[in-house]
A and B are shown apart, each in its own frame.
Chain A
Amino acid sequence: MPVVEKQRSDVILQYLRPKKKFPSVWCPGCGNGIVMGALIRAIDKLGYKRDEVCCVSGIGCTSRMPVYLDFNSLHTAHGRALAFATGVKFAQPNMKVIVITGDGDALAIGGNHFIHACRRNIDITTILINNFIYGMTGGQGSPTTPAGAFSTTTPYGNVEKQFDPCGLAQAAGASFVGRSTVFHTPQMEKMIMAALEHKGFSLVEVIANCHTYYGRLNKQGDPVAMVNSFKENAVMLGKAQTMTPDQLKGKYVIGTLHENKEATEFCDEYQKVVDVRMAGGKAR
């Protein structure tokens, strides 16, 4: 990884689409903007050219992000961002494909695409912004809404258990899994850089605030209260290993949870088969 250098904050402005009107469509204080800034700074530090990067997204608040980013962009069907991204990566193996997706987009509507992208270990960086709720459509409960939490479809408290996207990705075969929050922005930035440099499927789950719907129904109605609750409830991985499961209830374990550099990558394996067949040999 290259040397991390302190940078002026105006690098962000160079990577925004010039014809888009700002400020963005997101609510005041939305965590999506913080993640977008961290992503731009990570790409700038790694020194990628704009033509090398492709941002793919589905539908949702989070998926509005590639609209503002001045890279190759694909704004696709709901939940199918990873399927389209697989096609982009397959056609252009040298392109850095970044999927920006929300919790409902990746885990409910696109749940199958998510686990199969993990299983293939294709070289895509997925940034999953988890705000515990469907924000754009009016605050319905999503697969990551915690048990007991309130939303517009669970007005008496959620009875379902929540998904753990990091555990799901790791079990399905992703080779880089990390979690961060919008409060821990420098850590998130370094994690996105590590994920972009990693060869194989990499997932960065970012816990973000939706104070407009999730916060308002759960007694955290302003962005400051929600961001400070991430500060209080986040536990670094090293400390979490010394804690009991009871102590970890309601906490977010942050850090690089899983990394496997030896795992074989899908495009490389496919190219090997192509090379053998083109030379006239038999595969395997």
Chain B
Amino acid sequence: MTAPTDAGEAEAKPAGKNKHNFSKDNLPLEINMGWCKACNLCIALCPTQVFEPDRDGKPIQARPEACTLCTICWVHCPDFAIVSKHK
């Protein structure tokens, strides 16, 4: 594990926004709908309300720009249905 180079990464990060610039075309997470059981845990535990339930109660990423990659959703997913694309 190498220490992050502070100067270069701080400049590349746009002010006030997540450095990944998540949007509907650039989603932070992959959700495996075949494994999801619609337990509602990720929707309820997300601190920035990224998810919204679809008609089956399964999560869809309604506000991807709010995601801070805090890992709470996939750490608490009992069925390993949420996979993060980022570290």
Contact = CB atoms under 8 A, between A and B. Distances in A.
A37 B84 CA distance: 14
Contacts of B86: 8
B83 A23 contact: no
Contact of B41 (A13, A16, A186, A227): A227
Given A8-B87, A9-B84, A23 B74 contact: no
Nearest to A22: B35
Given A3-B1, A8-B87, A9-B82, A37 B75 contact: yes
Tell me the dominant secondary structure on chain B's binding face: loop
- Interface size bucket, A side? 20 to 34
B45 A33 contact: no
B79 interface: yes
Interface string A208-231: 000000000000001110011000
Interface in B17-35: 34-35
- Interface size bucket, B side? 20 to 34
A182 B79 CA distance: 14
A6 B83 contact: no
Interface in A2-61: 3, 5-10, 12-13, 16, 22-24, 26-34, 36-38
Contact of B35 (A23, A29, A37): A23
Contact of B75 (A32, A185, A227, A228): A185
B74 A26 contact: no
Interface string B34-49: 1111111100110000
Interface of A: 3, 5-10, 12-13, 16, 22-24, 26-34, 36-38, 182-183, 185-186, 222-224, 227-228
5 contacts: A9-B75, A23-B35, A23-B79, A33-B79, A37-B80
